């Protein structure tokens, strides 16, 4: 079995320099990476953004409304309902819908934080 640090061999070492246990709360199922805005978000059934992270930093509800409107909704997201539709691209979002994909969330958060640092 490949260790996580081996899977990221060749990438900057800072990507993996965060405490998994301390940041366990960001291992979110059904999270969405809004690539254009650089946020990890959660939406409800009405596509309203209920939670958002900029890196490991949670956004307040007023900040979420500032980014996505009032009410804060994703207007153009497409969430596939079957595997064959996952190849189609709509918007600049990456969905992490399964438990096994949730490990990507803290790594993406770390990358977002590193980008903010410059």
Per-residue pLDDT of the chain (118 residues; tens, 9 = 90+): 445 555 566 767 776 666 666 665 666 667 888 888 899 998 888 889 999 999 989 999 999 999 999 999 987 766 555 555 555 555 677 887 777 777 788 888 888 888 888 8
Q: Is 29 helix (H, G, I), strand (E, B) or coil?
A: coil
d(CA 32, CA 35): 9
**Domain boundary assignment for the chain:** 24-117
Q: By C-alpha distance, which of 19, 10, 27, 1 is closest to 102?
A: 27
């Amino acid at each position: 079995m490949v260790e996580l640090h081996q899977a990221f061999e060749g990438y900057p070492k800072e990507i993996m320099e965060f405490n998994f246990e301390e940041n366990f709360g960001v291992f979110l199922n059904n999270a969405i990476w809004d690539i254009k805005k650089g946020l990890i978000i959660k939406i409800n059934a009405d596509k309203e953004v209920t939670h958002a992270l900029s890196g490991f930093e949670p956004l307040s509800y007023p900040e979420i409304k500032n980014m996505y409107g009032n009410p804060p909704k994703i207007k153009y997201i497409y969430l596939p309902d079957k595997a064959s539709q996952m190849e189609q691209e709509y918007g600049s979002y990456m969905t992490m819908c399964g438990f096994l994909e949730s490990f990507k969330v803290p790594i993406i958060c770390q990358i977002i934080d590193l980008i903010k640092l410059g």
